[in-house]
Structure 1
Amino acid sequence: MRVTDRKIEAWLHEDVGHRDVTNHVPGETTGRLVAKESGVAAGLDAASAVFDYLGVDCETTVAAGDRIEEGDTLLEVAGETASLLRGERVAVNVAGHSSGVATATRRAVDLAREVSDDVAIAGTRKTTPGLRGVEKRAVAAGGGDTHRLTLSGMVMVKDNHVAEMGLEEAVGHFRDEKSFATKIEVEVERPADAPRAAEAGADIVLLDNMTPEEVEEGIEALPDGVLAEASGGIGFADVPDYAATGVDVISMGALTHSADSLDLSFRTEE
């Protein structure tokens, strides 16, 4: 999904404000976006869209998901100097943030692959308001799964639903409400509740805030055909231990809410 002109306008308005003197520079120039550290590239479609909106010619030199090293050029631009300068900070910010998310995701995927080729690393809905599309694409660029893009993507029966209605009643309620094409995931906080959720009709059981040992216990109690997801406070150092349990999915909010921005720099050519 391409970044919309409306969103780009909002980004530029936030950065430029009501009176921009700084970028009133005459003439034309060229420039490039350069990596100042190694990582995984992402967000270049959004950065390019900013320059396109401003009438600046832009060409990416790497693809989303490519590993990049310090000194690598990610994109090149040419056009009016004022337009380049107006768009560069927004482009750097969105590409740097996205590349940071992609880099964090690739790190988690690589850690998981040390012990399992089957487990998926997924993001969550713990995204920055207004930037979910950008961040979810960055997770995908890093080799991760985007999980639910919105609430409509899947029914998730969480602890609050269970507290209000009970596990079986909650699953039955949403099973009656949902489309035939929509899966149901049920969050449980004890291994013993995993088979209960499956029996009630869960397609996926979320083993929440459990140790790797508890996750393994919950998985062993699940019938064939029901997927298992581990989530809740899982850090990068924990990934190999959870991957070794045989779980199908490890979801990590840290991929989006705690990823460091990759250090990028925009340089005009002298």
Structure 2
Amino acid sequence: MLTSDRIERWLREDVGHHDVTNDVPGETTGRLVAKEAGTAAGIEAAAAVFEYLDVSTETPVADGEAVAAGETVLRTTGPARETLRAERVAVNLAGHASGIATETRQAVDRAQAVDPEVRIAGTRKTTPGLRGIEKRAVVAGGGDTHRLDLSHMVMIKDNHIAELGLETAVEEFRERVSFVTKIEVEAESAAQARRAVEAGADIVLLDNFTPTELSEVVDSLAETIKVADRKVLIEASGGITVESVADYASTGVDIISMGSLTHSADSLDYSFRTG
């Protein structure tokens, strides 16, 4: 949830202690305009920044909608001084979030053109303080948030396995979590993936495999999952980009997680115009 305290911190960071340039009298109107096509996100957050300073807003475009170059996504009416003070924070939020949503939309479209059932997910590779904005942007682009934080799922990685052993780690964590919490195990080989299924993992993460290697592992797991007689999801991750996502979607995995959606997406170019 976007709180008043957070907006206040953002504004203080930008305005500083002696703002002269934005000390403009009177009332004005403004428009946030997309300078390139993409998928809108962060529009509600941008509006909240203006409204915090008592500038009224209208949002003709909602998060998740496609926008064309030249299209207005937000309108404002209010004091010129407050409008100008909110402008940069609002534009930065909308541009950053819309860039993530646009990148996610492209990844989803390319992957689902190959496999309509595959899901594209974000990761925890987010900007500190902006995770909520960035995760909502992934959803706006048609993706899945994956874990919002460490409490949302148990993920057993290589260090856990090294310390506890795979089977012991699954057993111990299963005893300590709620019945609604899923357990995911990161596997580095087909043999380790089979052990993860047999140990009771709900999700098997295959990290840093090539598409060819993934296809082979997915095929080899089919019989193990059949014997386990329960739903086990297979996730792929590791350096996957929009350009390569279709190749990974063809492997039969259920989920493709992409850190690049949040840590490498370019901002969508917006311009704020008053008057």
Q: Same fold (TM over 0.5)?
A: yes
Q: Please give the secondary structure, in 2, of the residue aligned with 1:236.
A: coil
Please list the CA deviations of residues 13-71 of structure 1 after superposition, one character each: whole Å capped at 9, or x if unmatched. 11011111111000000001000011000001110110110000001010111111110
Report what 2:36 is aligned to: 37
**Correspondent of 2:253 among 243, 247, 257:** 247
Alignment map for 1:104-183 (pairs within 5 Å): 104-183=103-182
- Alpha-carbon distance between aligned partners in 2 of 1:219 and 1:103, rounded to the nearest angstrom: 29
Report what 1:217 is aligned to: 216
Percent of matched pairs sharing the same residue: 67
One-letter amino acid of the counterpart of residue 241, structure 2: G
Please list the CA deviations of residues 182-219 of structure 1 after superposition, one character each: whole Å capped at 9, or x if unmatched. 00000011122111001111000000111112212222
| Contact kept in structure 2, 1:191 and 1:215, CA below 8 Å | no
Please list the CA deviations of residues 217-267 of structure 1 after superposition, one character each: whole Å capped at 9, or x if unmatched. 222233041100000111222111110111000000000000000000000
One-letter amino acid of the counterpart of residue 160, structure 2: H
| Contact kept in structure 2, 1:202 and 1:226, CA below 8 Å | yes
Report what 2:60 is aligned to: 61
Q: Please give the secondary structure, in 2, of the residue aligned with 1:266.
A: strand
TM-score w.r.t. structure 1 length? 0.98
Report what 2:203 is aligned to: 204
Report what 2:183 is aligned to: 184
Structure 1, unpaired ranges of 5+: none
Within the alignment, does 1:22 sit opposite 2:28 as a pair? Answer: no
| Contact kept in structure 2, 1:56 and 1:77, CA below 8 Å | yes
One-letter amino acid of the counterpart of residue 124, structure 1: T
Report what 2:235 is aligned to: 229
| Contact kept in structure 2, 1:30 and 1:79, CA below 8 Å | yes
Please list the CA deviations of residues 65-109 of structure 1 after superposition, one character each: whole Å capped at 9, or x if unmatched. 111111000000000000000000000000000000000000101
Report what 2:101 is aligned to: 102
- Range moving further from structure 2, 74-83 or 206-215: 206-215
How many Å apart are 1:113 and its aligned residue?
A: 1.7
- Alpha-carbon distance between aligned partners in 2 of 1:122 and 1:255, rounded to the nearest angstrom: 9
Structure 2, unpaired ranges of 5+: none
One-letter amino acid of the counterpart of residue 78, structure 1: T
- Alpha-carbon distance between aligned partners in 2 of 1:186 and 1:218, rounded to the nearest angstrom: 15
- Range moving further from structure 2, 220-229 or 194-203: 220-229
RMSD between aligned residues:
0.8
How many residues get paired? 268
Report what 2:47 is aligned to: 48
- Range moving further from structure 2, 168-177 or 94-103: 168-177
One-letter amino acid of the counterpart of residue 237, structure 2: S
